[in-house]
Amino acid sequence: MFRIVITGAESTGKTSLTKELARYFQAPYSNEFVREFVETIKRPIIESDLEVIFEGQLKAERLACSNNPPLVFHDTNLLSNYIYAWHYFLKVPKDLESEILKQNYTHYLLCGTDIPWVPDSMQRESQEVRDTLQQDFIYALREKNIEPTMILGTKKERLEIAIQAVQKIISADPS
């Protein structure tokens, strides 16, 4: 199973790209759990929410993979949860790092900050915070020796870059 993670800071087009890729490849995808969680609780996230968020993200990913499809897209993953937990609370649950390593993702698509920042009342602070978080994503990926495909440009260009990256991964599979 190919598991492609669409990642990056807030307001970088991850959700739109995930849905477009899933539609193009006719593949399942997992939603960004924290977005649904915030919409449900109708308040900003607090530190005691972190475990629920991590568990919810894992559950969403498992559900997308449950029928063992050949290809799955993930609108963020635990690495994103890790980065945000550290950024906002300077704390990460002890088991999260090992859980990230267990997940066996095939490839990461890193959405760039070259598109306009769009405010969101409960999840997004500012373009400056987005830029800081983007650097945190780049650092975290490098630290874990992950070479993502950078997704930049117009909506159409971003989709084309992502499709090409996924097709290259699929075609390189020897099985």
Q: Output the tens digit of pLDDT for each of the chain's 175 residues.
A: 999 999 999 999 999 999 999 999 999 999 999 988 988 998 889 999 999 999 999 999 999 999 999 999 999 999 999 999 999 999 887 788 788 878 889 999 999 999 988 877 656 678 888 999 999 999 999 998 999 999 999 999 999 999 999 999 999 876 6
Which CATH number characterizes residue 114's domain?
A: 3.40.50.300
Distance CA 82, CA 6 (A): 15
CA–CA gap between residue 13 and residue 152 (Å, rounded) = 10
113: number of Cβ within 10 Å: 20
pTM of the model: 0.93
* Domain containing residue 168: 2-172
Count the domains in the chain. Answer: 1
Element (H, E) at 102: helix 96-102
pLDDT given for residue 174 in this prediction: 65
133-161: b or e for each residue (b if 16 or more CB lie within 10 Å)?
A: bbebbeebbeeeeeebbbbeeeeeebbeb
